[in-house]
A and B are shown apart, each in its own frame.
Chain A
Amino acid sequence: MTIRKTLARLALAAAAAVLTLPAQAEESGWAQLNLPRGVTDISRKIYALHMEVFWICVGIGVVVFGVMIWSLVAFRKSKGAVADTTMVHNTMVEIVWTIVPVIILIVMAVPAARTLIEIEDTTRTGLTVRVTGFQWGWQYEYLDDGVMYYSHLDRASDAARELGSPIDPNTVPYYLWNVDHPLVVPNGVKVRLLITGADVIHSWWVKDLGVKKDAIPGFINEAWFKIDDGWTGMLRGNCAELCGRDHGFMPIVVDVRSRADFDTWLKSTAAQERAAAAPAAPAATPATAPAATAPAAATAAASG
């Protein structure tokens, strides 16, 4: 990339940051600089908390930095300011600036605790998927339906990401944010994820769902999301816990479909997996059929 082109991009980014007002919709440059509101009730609550705390911090900043800047301007020696060396202590003021922050913190803590309690409620779920992170990809198992598959970085990204690859990442659609087999889920259903790790610790993060949970060998963590009724499309995320050489190359893609489309997909995938398993290993059950790879074996150990 030429320097001029780089500078132009930087100028554009800066302009986008400065000129676009927060009120202007999600698609604007400004929205890309902030947490997304996301597609679930929880992700919007997290967004609201994030903004609430952010604006409280801005408010405190304006006051504190205001006083600091005022002092630096008003009490300059070069303008003849003389120090008041008797001003060393004031119990009343000190009590006030201890208690006021406590009150502000309580104002922040109450809604945070409320949202957290809601996030931790994993009861009454409609679909359960086991998610296993491995070096380097994800394994998804629909536990009640005998469907299991692996999800890796897509081939186009994989070719472009090689050291010294001639392929320009800008020409690859969804570079490093695309996979061969996304996680398919229905909207309007409370989906429970059982998250574990096969080898080292990974972390399953999709910001539009407001979900980040570590995938730890020997542990099964729970998380859930319920995507807005009627919302369909693709959501993209990443592994968030350093997991070795290709930590940066195991994205997560969630394919959100309507209830009916999802059911059709699930049935046909289950049938396909059964068909594929049958000639190769007649004795095996569908869920463990495509085994013989490290992750599947390790998952069995982890769940045991």
Chain B
Amino acid sequence: MAEHQAHAATHEHHEHKPHGWRRWVFATNHKDIGTMYLVLSGTMFFIGGLAAMGIRAELFSPGLQFFDPQFFNSLTTMHGLIMIFGAIMPAFVGLANWMIPMQVGAPDMALPRLNNFSFWILPFAFTLLMSSFFVPGGAPAGGWTMYPPLILQTGAAFPMLIFSVHLMGMSSILGAINIIVTIMNLRAPGMTLLRMPLFVWSWLITAYLLIAVMPVLAGAVTMLLTDHFFGTTFFTAAGGGDPVMFQHIFWFFGHPEVYIMILPAFGIVSEIIPTFSRKPLFGYESMVYAVASIAFLSFIVWAHHMFTVGMPLAGDLFFMFTTMLIAVPTGVKVFNWTATLWKGSISFETPMLFALAFLFLFTIGGFSGVMCAIVPADFQYQDSYFVVAHFHYVLVTGAAFAIMGAVYYWLPKWTGHMYNEKMGKFHFWMSTIWVNVLFFPQHFLGLAGMPRRIPDYPVQFTDLNMLSSIGGFMFGLSQLIFLWNVISCIRGGEKAPAKPWEGALGLEWTLPSPPPYHSFETPPTAVWEHPYQAD
């Protein structure tokens, strides 16, 4: 113990805290890197959102008003890539950087320089990707799923797309390694695996998923690259290749990727709901097992994204049954959250509002997910707006809402200031109302027969598209409230105590707000009897 303190003292002495631009470019501090991830994510969220506004503007009424169809396809493709790889994933990594060391009682991430590298890859990746708008042939327009042969028709943007995906994958793998090493090695004495906070647990499992599937994506896009430039025919039927094989490889990455984008959200919601219910999470262990089984199942359900490619009957049946099975652990999670609310003492601060909206709206996305698992019915839903509605319910009102809730939840800890609660609630209600106006009608559009990824539609679809577009514009505008609230909170505001939330549990709340440069210079020495309870 004395040794620890002596070490800490010398460490403080040699802090070498860089200032100015060096603080960010040479950053090795988990909080600085976390902040950069979150800023990048926010920037990408607004750029990807701008693409979405363009899409909704073109779809406001029938006929083409603004864009050439090819440019429209670029917008949908880039919206998908930017939101998935640029907005959602970096947001979760940013939250992991900020919170995991503080939640496990560590001074920093285990591999600080690797951390710097894995962040600084990303601005280059996205600059490369987005500059493809300005090259001959325009930005990639073959969909974020990059199916060949169509994607091979991309112009000069093609290698830019492939290399930026490589870079994003590399960043994710390095980030995931860092997270696993940190969780495995830097936990406070006494914090066994089954006493870790659920956010840490969900990220541990997510990190393994990332390491498992990012190389698969890299392999798939590398094969595209050699097909395009070096005369291979992995995916070209005329040369003995198989375009469907790409889809199998892509979705073997793609389905775990879906859970990479939702498991940390489960972790966040599992932190927020108990805090504002003033009651420990119900069924902690079954929550952990549920996350683990969802992660396992994610590897054996991939072909449910491709029921219409003409798989053999046995394949269709296998993937239908495994997909339906996912509803079981997901149901367990929803029931556990509900049971946490039961007999609680509930208050409705902004983070809680977002977590509750997640609970309701993600469940709706889960219902449409079960519907999509029914193969004969999926023959009708596949590639229609029904599917667009489904995955936006899980990704926007699921993942993005959880991220917004997390930002409000931990913002006082990060900045040392309370955010404006009234403005936060206003942002919540605007977002929740308009996101439903935006996405709910899309279920009906899909059932009525509107395919996805089209810039123009038969006039029968006009009314619901207008409604959806109005919801889209208003949802987009509502996010400016969020931006304003976060910026004002960083710049000042009511002083936040170490534990601004009455019912909050976990080590991060034992540190002052804002926390010191090296979060825990000496590990908290606690005897752990339950998760979240050190005494």
Query: Does A283 touch B at the CB level, under 8 Å?
Result: no
Question: What string of 1s and 0s marks CB contacts (under 8 Å) between B459-472 and chain A?
Answer: 11011101100100
Partner of B69, one of A89, A119, A240, A248: A248
Interchain Cβ contacts within 8 Å, total number: 294
Query: Does B103 touch A at the CB level, under 8 Å?
Result: no
Q: For the complex formed, measure the closest distance between the CB of A232 and the CB atoms of chain B, giving whole angstroms.
A: 21
Segment at the interface with B among A95-103, A181-189, A273-281: A95-103
Segment at the interface with B among A61-69, A144-152, A284-292: A61-69
Query: Does B284 touch A at the CB level, under 8 Å?
Result: yes
Query: Does B283 touch A at the CB level, under 8 Å?
Result: yes
Q: For the complex formed, measure the closest distance between the CB of B400 and the CB atoms of chain A, giving whole angstroms.
A: 21
The reply to whether A218 and B237 contact each other, CB–CB distance below 8 Å, is yes
The reply to whether A97 and B331 contact each other, CB–CB distance below 8 Å, is yes
Q: Provided the pairs A109-B321, A175-B62 are in contact, do residues A77 and B347 lie with their beta carbons within 8 angstroms?
A: yes
The reply to whether A116 and B370 contact each other, CB–CB distance below 8 Å, is no
Partner of B345, one of A35, A45, A81: A81
Segment at the interface with B among A18-26, A207-215, A263-271: A207-215
Query: Does A205 touch B at the CB level, under 8 Å?
Result: yes
Contacts of B285 in A (CB 8 A): 89
Assembled-state Cα–Cα distance A77/B345 (Å): 5
Partner of A248, one of B236, B331, B454: B454
The reply to whether A81 and B67 contact each other, CB–CB distance below 8 Å, is no
Query: Does B185 touch A at the CB level, under 8 Å?
Result: no
Q: Which of B307-322 contact A (CB under 8 A)?
A: 308-310, 313, 316-317, 320-321
Q: Provided the pairs A9-B466, A113-B317 are in contact, do residues A200 and B62 lie with their beta carbons within 8 angstroms?
A: no
Segment at the interface with B among A124-132, A162-170, A254-262: A162-170
A1 nearest in chain B by CB position: B61
Query: Does A156 touch B at the CB level, under 8 Å?
Result: no
A84 nearest in chain B by CB position: B343
The reply to whether A101 and B327 contact each other, CB–CB distance below 8 Å, is yes
Contacts of A143 in B (CB 8 A): none
Assembled-state Cα–Cα distance A35/B444 (Å): 8
The reply to whether B73 and A77 contact each other, CB–CB distance below 8 Å, is no
Partner of A97, one of B310, B313, B332, B383: B332
Q: For the complex formed, measure the closest distance between the CB of A240 and the CB atoms of chain B, giving whole angstroms.
A: 4
Contacts of B237 in A (CB 8 A): 216-219, 302
Assembled-state Cα–Cα distance A113/B503 (Å): 48
The reply to whether A109 and B320 contact each other, CB–CB distance below 8 Å, is yes
Question: What string of 1s and 0s marks CB contacts (under 8 Å) between A100-119 and chain B?
Answer: 01100100110011011101
The reply to whether B459 and A113 contact each other, CB–CB distance below 8 Å, is no
Contacts of B363 in A (CB 8 A): 61, 64-65
A57 nearest in chain B by CB position: B367
| A–B pairs, 29, beta carbons within 8 Å | A9-B463, A13-B463, A13-B467, A33-B447, A33-B448, A34-B444, A34-B447, A71-B341, A72-B341, A81-B345, A85-B279, A87-B339, A93-B339, A94-B286, A101-B327, A105-B328, A108-B370, A112-B374, A115-B376, A116-B375, A163-B65, A200-B150, A201-B150, A217-B238, A218-B237, A241-B308, A244-B141, A244-B142, A245-B73
Which A residues are closer than 8 A to B by beta carbons?
A: 1, 6, 9-10, 12-14, 17, 32-36, 42, 45-46, 49-50, 53-54, 57, 60-61, 64-65, 67-68, 71-72, 75-78, 81-85, 87-90, 93-94, 97-98, 101-102, 105, 108-109, 112-113, 115-117, 119-120, 160-165, 168-170, 174-177, 199-201, 203, 205, 207, 210-214, 216-219, 221-222, 236-249, 301-302
